[in-house]
Every structure is written in C-alpha cells, then in structure tokens.
C-alpha cells in the first residue's frame, strides 16, 4: 500500500525548465532559479500554456502552388477547368492588321538585305586595298629576245695572237 500512496502524490514541476520540485510550495526553482510564486500566474502561449493555433499551423504546412503541368504529372491535379476562351479570341487578325504585319516583315527584310549588300561592298573594297600588284610575267616574255652570238668555229681563220 505504501507504493500506491506515493504514486497518488502529485509531483510538482517547474514550468520553465520542467525540473521536479521537492517542495511544492517553493518560491523559486532550485534548478533554473525561476520565480515560482507570484501574485498571479501569467499565461504565456508557448511558454506556460499550450498555443493551439501555433501547433495547428506547424502541423499543416502552407500549400505550395504548383504549375498545372507538374500537378497533372504528379497526379495532384484537382481537375478544375478554367473558363473557356471568349469567342473570337483565337480568330486571325483583321485584314488591315495582317497588311501592317506583312509591311513590317518586308521592311525588316529590306533592311537586312541592304546591310548585307553594304557588308559585301565594304569587304570587296578592303580586299582591293590589300591586294598587291603582281608583275606581268607574260608581257616581259612577249618582247623579242635578242639573238645570241654564234660560237666561234675553226674555219681556217687563225686565232688572234
């Protein structure tokens, strides 16, 4: 029976450090030194009292919005359909807008062609400045070559002395 009586006695704990208090009427905690006796026990959510809102918020993380494609791939797609596009929103543009689009495309193409032509002209001018004059080998050979003197022969003339 003695064992049963000790289990029925409530053991007091420090609300700050949870240490066991040997004297239930102690004015301060022997472990952390916190003041236990006061005029009124303040209720501090998360410190001396359970903060249910904080616990609920900690258990339920804020849902992250994913793209529809990722949601569809992962199977989390809610299946909520968006409103259909209004009629005429996918229709081709009116003729005057199409004409203006073509005019702008042609103008851009003309500008590109002009820039390309200017580039070709400037490259050819640069090549012409870098080119060295090559001597005309054919014109030098086209002149008549003077005949070589015939070699002297022994034809009965005495050699000069």
Cβ atoms 30, 37 nearer than 8 A: no
The model's confidence at residue 116, banded by pLDDT at 50, 70 and 90, is: very high
Q: pLDDT at residue 72 above 90?
A: no
- B/e letters for 30-69, b = 16+ CB within 10 Å, e = fewer, are eeeeeebeeeeeeeeeeeeeeeeeeeeeeeeeeeeeeeee
Q: pLDDT at residue 2 above 70?
A: no
Structure tokens at 49: 């009292």
CA-to-CA distance for 9 and 12, rounded, in angstroms?
9
pTM: 0.29
Name which residue leads in pLDDT, 112 or 29.
Answer: 112
Cβ atoms 71, 77 nearer than 8 A: yes
């Amino acid at each position: 029976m003695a064992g049963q009586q000790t289990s029925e006695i409530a053991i007091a704990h420090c609300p700050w450090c949870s240490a066991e208090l040997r004297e239930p009427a102690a004015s301060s905690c022997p472990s952390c030194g916190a003041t236990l006796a006061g005029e009124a026990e303040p209720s501090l959510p998360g410190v001396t009292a359970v903060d249910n809102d904080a616990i609920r918020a900690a258990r339920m993380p804020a849902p992250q919005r994913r793209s529809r494609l990722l949601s569809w791939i992962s199977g989390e797609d809610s299946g909520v359909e968006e409103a259909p596009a209004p009629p005429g929103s996918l229709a081709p543009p009116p003729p005057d807008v199409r004409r203006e689009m073509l005019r702008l495309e042609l103008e851009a193409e003309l500008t590109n062609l002009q820039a390309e032509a200017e580039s070709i002209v400037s490259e050819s001018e640069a090549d012409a400045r870098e080119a060295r004059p090559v001597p005309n080998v054919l014109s030098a050979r086209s002149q008549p070559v003077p005949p070589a003197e015939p070699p002297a022969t022994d034809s009965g003339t005495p050699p000069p002395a």
